[in-house]
Amino acid sequence: MNDLRGTQRREWPTRLVLLWLVGLGTVLGMVAVFMDLVEDVWFREGFVWDAPLIIGLHHLSRPWLDTVMRLVTQTGEAGAIALVIVLTGWFVYHHRPLDAATVVVSFMGAVALNSLLKILLARPRPFLFPPLVVESGFSFPSGHVTAAVAAYGALAVFLWRQGHRGWAVVSAAWVPVVAVSRVYLGVHYPSDTLGSLIFASLWLLVVFSVRDAYARRQQPASETAGFPS
> Catalytic positions, please?
144, 188
Q: Which of 87, 98, 117, 133 is nearest to 200 (CA)?
A: 117
Q: Interior CA angle at 210 toward 152 and 88, to 5°?
A: 40
